[in-house]
Structure 1
Amino acid sequence: MNTHRTTRTGNVLYIVDSKRPSAGCIMTEMREYWQGLRQNESIPLRADVTADAISKVLDYAFLVERLAPEMARFRLVGQHLIDLMGMELRGMPLCSVINQASRKRMCKVTETVFRAPQIVEMKLRSRSAQGCPVISGSMLLLPLKSDLDDVTRALGCLVSEGPIGIGPRRFDLAETKFTPVIRGGQILYPSPVPEPGKP
């Protein structure tokens, strides 16, 4: 049985795995796993996250650590992100998967995950270029506590839709959705990004 479909863009032929779960299914499974780790609506510990428990979506998963305000880096990275960027991302900033124009906004959005803490979902879009068709993506960030009981870790996933083409594929931040970790809680919105040329 053929489990692949082909997509042609210009003179490049891409092969796309049709058995891959949809972005919605991957994000739902990740969110339900995180929710299952909670006790009395607490934030789960990073130490409680295991690869075996998310084996079906592991390729799309990642873990990040907050190093300073508005600065987070990858600690562990799934294969899908490596394929998108064409390189190993461990130790690199989370915003390295984002185009320059959206990076400040991305850093401020990510900071709310740790400060509130809260859940953030993002819609992403990567522009077309030679050998690179337009692709969309979805990212989910879920707060975690470190062994010191502070919220400085996050479990996430990033799923792109469409053939990757030639990496690295970086994204613009198109939409954001914030969800409090406690039902009825307040949302912490990111601070505004100054316009270019203004303080």
Structure 2
Amino acid sequence: MSEQTVAIPPMPETPPPSPRRKKHGPFLVGLGTGIATSGVVALILFLTIGGSRASDAPAVAVSPSASTTPAAAATAQEATEAPEEVFNSNPGAGDFTMTLKITSKQCFGSAGCNLTVEPQVSYAGLLPLDPGKEYSLTYEVHGSEDGSIIQTMELSDQTSLSYRPTVLTTSTSKTKLTVKVTDVEERG
């Protein structure tokens, strides 16, 4: 048997391409970004919630060598202060809706009815009313035999109403009563 020599081919200058795999690069970058963003959001929420309970946390001594900038101290101060509540400073008639509740009704055939009605009011404004102020709501009731009736009620502590029931007579038992807030005045 004779020996044969086999020539070894020269090495390429660049490595050969790796076997084709699914490209996960963009997916992994997105996944990493999502995890990092979630971590930052969780940290902000933790600091915000923890900052609102600053009085419950034990005091932490800061050494004189700790480096804090005035801007960082101001930001920390703002994070611990409770946000100031914003109220509707100028509520209008359109911020209220009203219906009438019939509390007493006596009808006389085709002659009409005597009714006692009470207003049911709802506040529909975007901002809450200031609980420290009183509001005077003027409203107009339509459907009475004698024409429209104008009444005023007082609203305080955002939910406490003071009013007098309205007594009226309708021309028939089928008369529809309507009510509308016409004016709102701040009283304190």
| TM-score normalised to structure 2 length | 0.22
Structure number with bigger Rg: 2
| TM-score normalised to structure 1 length | 0.21
Q: Which has the higher contact order (CA 8 A, sep 6+)?
A: 1
